[in-house]
Amino acid sequence: MNEETIHLDSVRFYWSKVADFKIYIPKLEIGRGEKVLLLGESGSGKTTLLSLICGFLSPISGDIFLNEQKLNDLKANKKDQFRSDNIGIIFQQFNLLPYANVIDNITLPLYFSKNRDSRVKNHREAALNLCRSLQLSESTIAMQANKLSVGQQQRVAVARALIGNPSLIIADEPTSSLDASTQKKFLDLMFRQIEEHKSTLLMVSHDSSISNYFDRTINIKDILVREN
């Protein structure tokens, strides 16, 4: 296998305060530049797994490596910096700044990462290019995020994840609220962008019919053991 972007080894994590959800992931390896689809039923732990990989959650035991960096070894502020530099994240609920306009939402990661900022000469130009390639019309660019349709918000969330070329894109069901034809258009555009930037992609979905877009499909029940 080529160099790994994501490597999990004997990871245990428990959600215990609200509901008892105890999981064990013996091993997960995703190579650099691989595009991987993660399938699984609602409540099976997909978002929990992505949150562990992004370092928003910490495992109780075991190791998580991203780009050969062991996440557990980083203090909180270093972990935040590492995440900003290396990961473009498309959250299940997008997490756009509602009162900020489209351009400001897209360029936000550049203020948190010198690495990503250094790859972008002109913030506005870079954001506009991404908008064009994601078919977000000129008229939406100055709009506040909370005035956009769900499909438009999804494209803004993708542009924000891609700007400044992070090596890893993590996407949590970015197409869940799109109809079949809009979903296809959206995936074509997102994949073109990701291939151009040679990023690694880990994307969650319920929908196995999109697996032909990916190098590999993983079903969460094959990698994650429920311990309760």
**Residues binding ligand ATP (CB under 6 A):** 15, 17-19, 21, 40, 42-48, 92
Q: Using the rule CB under 5 A, is 47 a contact of Mg ion?
A: yes
Q: Using the rule CB under 5 A, is 51 a contact of Mg ion?
A: no
How many C-beta atoms surround the C-beta of residue 201 within 10 A?
24
Nearest to 227 by CA among 63, 10, 60, 14: 14
Query: Using CA atoms, how far apart are residues 140 and 149, in angstroms rounded to an integer?
Result: 10
Nearest to 19 by CA among 209, 165, 174, 226: 226
Contact of residue 153 among Mg ion, ligand ATP, none (CB under 5-8 Å per partner type):
none
Output the smallest distance, CB 124 to ligand ATP, in A.
34
Query: Using CA atoms, how far apart are residues 119 and 28, in angstroms rounded to an integer?
Result: 30
The residue among 72 and 92 lying less far from ligand ATP, judged by its C-beta, is 92
Output the smallest distance, CB 145 to ligand ATP, in A.
22
The residue among 48 and 107 lying less far from ligand ATP, judged by its C-beta, is 48
Nearest to 88 by CA among 149, 148, 163: 163
The residue among 118 and 211 lying less far from ligand ATP, judged by its C-beta, is 211
H or E stretch including 185? Answer: helix 180-197
Output the smallest distance, CB 50 to ligand ATP, in A.
8
Contact 120, 126 (CB under 8 A): yes
Output the smallest distance, CB 83 to Mg ion, in A.
18
Contact of residue 48 among ligand ATP, Mg ion, none (CB under 5-8 Å per partner type):
ligand ATP
Residue nearest to Mg ion (CB): 47
The residue among 11 and 106 lying less far from Mg ion, judged by its C-beta, is 11
Phi-psi region of 103 (alpha: psi -120 to 50; beta: other; left: phi over 0): alpha
The residue among 56 and 112 lying less far from Mg ion, judged by its C-beta, is 56
